[in-house]
Structure 1
Amino acid sequence: MSARNILVINCGSSSLKFALVNEAQATFPLQGLAERLGSPEAVVHWQLGDAKESLNLPGADHREILNHVLPLAQEAAGGQLDGIGHRVVHGGEHFTASSLIDANVLEGIRANAQLAPLHNPANLVGIEAAMALFPGLPQVSVFDTAFHQSMPEHAYRYAVPDFLYKEHGVRRYGFHGTSHRYVSKRAAEMMNLPVEDSSWLSAHLGNGCSTCAIVNGESRDTSMGLTPLEGLVMGTRSGDVDPNLHSHLARTLGWSIEQVDRMLNHDSGLKGLSGLSNDMRTLSEARQAGHPGATLAFEVFCYRLAKSLAGMACGLQKLDGLIFTGGIGENSAAVRERTLDHLKLLGFQLDGEANARCTRGVAGEIQVTGSPRVLVVPTNEERQIALDALALLDA
């Protein structure tokens, strides 16, 4: 049987990321990103083989973009497209694994939109557009939250009145599950350990950030909660703040819930602390030049990350290694070094040369002899989504 091809689609409210994954190829035959959808500046960029191209499509929506992507995907797949995998942010408690999309799955995604109002509706737009355009192709939804459904109740419950959980689903769900699952399996492979007998701390660090405790291939705890705002300092998200901050700002500044919500999600994190940027690369350069805001943002980011990893260790009985992944985790040797400076009580020590070497897609161990293991493992959520789709097609 020839190697199969899965088109992976990740829809945001005004963006659409796509990749063609061939099960036998390490690189993607086709990948691209459409941005600013619905605006006069809508544009799609893609790479087919070694060729990079862009096309301006003023006013284009998700369906129009998919109209352009399909022929590209069919060409890259040699006319043989076997299925489509969709990233869906919130599956609530209903979805504990990836699912073949049918009317019931669509209704479940719709029902969870209140838990992820910025994400699930956009995910649905992409799914419905793809189903209308490719009605004969099997389509699979892969949920960010599904991996964390193995958390024990003492890890996912909030200390709030019981009815809020039982009647309204107020609990910790966690996100980045596809990434944490992929890198923990990959780490076990790299170290020749059985996935079903391995324990990891995982730090997914990008514009969104989260940590996870993973035991025998299952999530035991994670830093994000009901929404992706809980936990670590992120690019523009605050992470943990005093829950009473909302009422404090309402009383002292007259802010509405919407104003506080926007500030915490879009104007905080690295951007808010530094007053400069949400991008760690920009902040690292500014920090080297002595910018006080960039220095503060870097220090708070690393300290809060270390605190979270130390807390996640409560979910483990043993530690086979700490994994760094995501754009910052894979590329910032300085973040890894400073974070582990705060975890000396756990015995972590980095090899400076190995740490500096593991950037730009280079994976490997970066600890000195005698230290608990520290790994840099590039994530590949698109490949994990494709693997889930293929597994469901086989089933």
Structure 2
Amino acid sequence: MVLPGPGVIRLDPQSTTGAFEPPVQPPPFPLPCRRFSTGSPQETRPTQTNLEVRRQAVGVPVEQAALHGVPFAFGAPFAFFSLRDIPISMATILVLNCGSSTIKFQLLDMPAGRRLLKGAIEKIGQQESKGRISYDASLEPFRRFSSPQEEHPSSKGSPPSLEESLPAISYADAFDWLFAHLPPTLPLDAIGHRVVHGGPYFNQTVRITQEVVEHIQACSSLAPLHNPIQLEGIRLCKTHHGEIPQFASFDTAFHRDKPEVHRIFALPRQLCTQFGYEKYGFHGASHRYVARRAAALLQRPLEELRLISCHLGGGSSITAIHRGKALDTTATYGTCTGMPMGSRSGDIDVAVILDLILQQGYSPQEVSDILYNQSGLFGISGISSDMAELERLEQAGHEGAHLAREYYVYMIKKFIGAFAALLEGVDAIIFTGGIGEKDHDIRERVCRSLGWLGARIDLTKNRGAQGETPISTTDSRVTLLVIPTDEELEIALEITEALENI
């Protein structure tokens, strides 16, 4: 559906039809939403009923509609959205992505998907550690700064921001800083956590209970760089705000509905059943988000599309998506499989691992450290796990950096070819994640080899790609897309749905 210009579809209160209207001013901040604490009526903010929503005219932002696969034109700011698809309640959700040395966070107004603030605390435990936040302009009256000089005066049209040096800050103190800089008058409805591995236990976002914590702990050996620190984030949030419900969104959940033949290993079935060995998959929120965005950008229903999503970053995985569902993926049981990553090996012949242990005298823990911390781009290059740095070194003639980037491209092409065969054709290939979004040279090297598939890259578009954009030629049978991922928004949408069931 192509709209005549900026504006909204104004819905008829008595039906699910609507008509186009020009832009309207956003509602005043903050929006009413539920507050969870002890559960007493006095501590609960007003909630709109289904009838009340149906009696109101609702303008729906395209970001929300597109996430549900509603087609719209490139650049169109709003799209039609059925009343029955609009979540009833509004909620303010804090989404956290906890890493070993970095905490990324966003505060989102849902279901509109409005980002109230976005920030990160980086290099935790190091002298160079710092915290930074950018605020929505409407939040300006509610900001807290540690000291006036730490406020960055915003240039015209840019959001106000904060950056503060936090030398050698601990993980617990980082959470103190985070919560101290949230808008003090804006109650939180929920806190969401990205959790990398949910094993066989979870196929959707769930409210965190003690049982959920125990299941996450049980999967920690499969994601040793992620699950333990994400559990620490859950614990610290509970310490700060035990009255606010917390939710876990699992990277593995998107992949739980893969066909059985794509989930199993060729091992004795008794062993697989006894120990839970199967191909799980990762980066689920990212793959789901960019798939929905691709459908919107292509103006086609997600249920009709064959997509290959390449999430390329510090952690990388490629997923074949058929009719909106994961069909197969590169990362399988543990987080060091599939694509080579910063310091993780990716796929490797198991005989090498057996030889290291049985013949060369390495302990299982030493081999684990090699696979997770000494391999991948770092292992091949011998100098760095950072792809941007490897690009600079390659241009300067560093042989190891060149070999690492070439191997990375080789593996992407290998998996795209395999998944194209599995999907029996491809409608679009998506590049996302830090490397997928920013490294035009990697995209060019990959796509130049895909002519046999009907994919043709436009070199000018590719080198100038910013934000969501096609980088294929007009005659390309396969659309090549760069789509910045927004895992936090995807997680917030999942939590919004879960809140409705509480």
Q: TM-score, normalised by structure 1?
A: 0.92
The residue number in structure 2 matching 1:72 is 181
Counterpart in 1 of 2:49?
none
Q: Which residue of structure 2 aligns with residue 269 of structure 1?
A: 376
Change (3 A) 1:112 1:25: closer
Once the 2 structures are TM-superposed, how far is the Cα of residue 115 of structure 1 from its aligned partner?
Answer: 2.7
Name the residue aligned to 2:464. 357
Contact 2:113 2:489 in 1 (8 A): no
Q: Which moved more, 1:243-252 or 1:53-62?
A: 53-62
Among all aligned residue pairs of Structure 1 and Structure 2, give the percentage whose two residues are the same amino acid.
Answer: 38
Using the TM superposition, give the Cα deviation of residue 269 of structure 1 relative to its aligned residue in structure 2, in angstroms: 1.4
Letter in 2 for 1:47: I
> Where does residue 16 of structure 1 map in the other structure?
103
1:32 aligns with 2:137: no
Q: Distance in 2 between matches of 1:389 and 1:217?
A: 19
CA distance in 2 between partners of 1:233 and 1:14 (Å)? 21
Match of 2:492 in 1: 386
**CA distance, structure 2, for counterparts of residue 260 and residue 320 of structure 1:** 40
Amino acid at match of 2:475: G
Other-structure match for 2:321: 214
Equivalent-residue separation in structure 2 for 1:216 and 1:61 (angstroms) = 41
For residues 163-174 of structure 1, the aligned pairs below 5 Å read 163-174=270-281
Could you tell me which of 42, 47, 52 is aligned with 2:133?
47
Contact 1:101 1:139 (C-alpha < 8 Å) held by counterparts: yes
Whether the 8 Å contact between 1:350 and 1:368 is mirrored in structure 2 is yes
Does 2:213 align with 1:106?
yes
Find the residue that maps to 1:32 and give its secondary structure: strand
* 1:353–1:227 Cα change, 3 Å: same
Give 1:370 deviation, angstroms.
Answer: 2.4
The residue aligned with 1:284 is 391
Determine helix, strand or coil for the equivalent of 1:46.
Answer: strand
1:239 aligned to 340, 346, 353, which one? 346
Task: For residues 104-138 of structure 1, give each alpha carbon's deviation from its aligned partner in whole angstroms, at most 9, with x where no partner exists.
Answer: 32232233233323322222221122123212212
Evaluate the alpha carbon distance shift between residue 65 and residue 290 of structure 1 in structure 2; reply closer, same or farther with a 3 A threshold: closer
Query: Unaligned 5+ residue runs, structure 2?
Result: 1-30, 33-89, 136-159
Q: Which protein has the bigger helix share?
A: 1
Deviations 1:304-357 (A, max 9, x none): 110011112243244220000001100111111111233332122101111111
Q: Which amino acid aligns with 2:469?
A: G
The 3-state SS of whatever aligns with 2:346 is coil
C-alpha change, 1:221 and 1:267, in structure 2 (3 Å) is same
- Residue of structure 1 aligned with 2:472, choices 359, 363, 367: 367
Q: 1:394 to 1:321 in 2, by over 3 A?
A: same
Asked whether the equivalents of residues 303 and 342 of structure 1 are also in contact (C-alpha less than 8 Å), the reply is: no
Deviation at 1:95, TM superposition (A): 0.3
Query: What TM-score comes out, normalization by structure 2 length?
Result: 0.73
Counterparts of 1:119-198 in structure 2 under 5 Å?
119-198=226-305
CA contact 1:41–1:56 (8 Å) conserved in 2: yes
User: For 1:301, what is the secondary structure of its paired residue?
Assistant: helix
Change (3 A) 1:350 1:220: same
Structure 1 contact 42–59 (Cα < 8 Å) conserved: no
Question: Per-residue CA shift, 1:165-202, capped at 9, x if unaligned?
Answer: 10101111111111101111111111111122222101
AA of the residue aligned to 1:231: G
Q: Is the 8 A contact 1:236 1:271 kept in 2?
A: yes
**Alignment of structure 1 residues 322-361 onto 2, 5 Å:** 322-359=429-466
Q: Which has the greater radius of gyration? A: 2
Query: What CA distance in whole angstroms lies between the structure 2 residues aligned with 1:85 and 1:230?
Result: 26
Cα distance in structure 2, aligned partners of 1:58 and 1:235: 24
Contact 1:74 1:81 survives alignment (8 Å): no
Question: Does the C-alpha gap of structure 1 residues 18 and 348 become closer, same or farther in structure 2, counting only changes over 3 Å?
Answer: same
C-alpha distance 299-48 of structure 1, shift in aligned 2 (>3 A): closer
Helix, strand or coil at the partner of 2:219: helix
Aligned length: 388
Report whether the alignment pairs 1:56 with 2:141.
no
Shifted more, 381-390 versus 120-129: the winner is 120-129
Task: Quote the residue 2:54 is aligned against.
Answer: none
Q: Quote the residue 2:68 is aligned against.
A: none
Q: Is the 8 A contact 1:232 1:239 kept in 2?
A: yes
Letter of the 1:29 partner, please give it: L
Q: Write the distance in 2 (CA, Å) between the matches of 1:297 and 1:108.
A: 36
Contact 1:7–1:73, Cα closer than 8 Å, also in 2: no
**What do you get for the CA RMSD once the two structures are aligned?**
2.1
In the TM superposition, what is the alpha-carbon distance from 1:293 to its structure 2 partner? 1.5
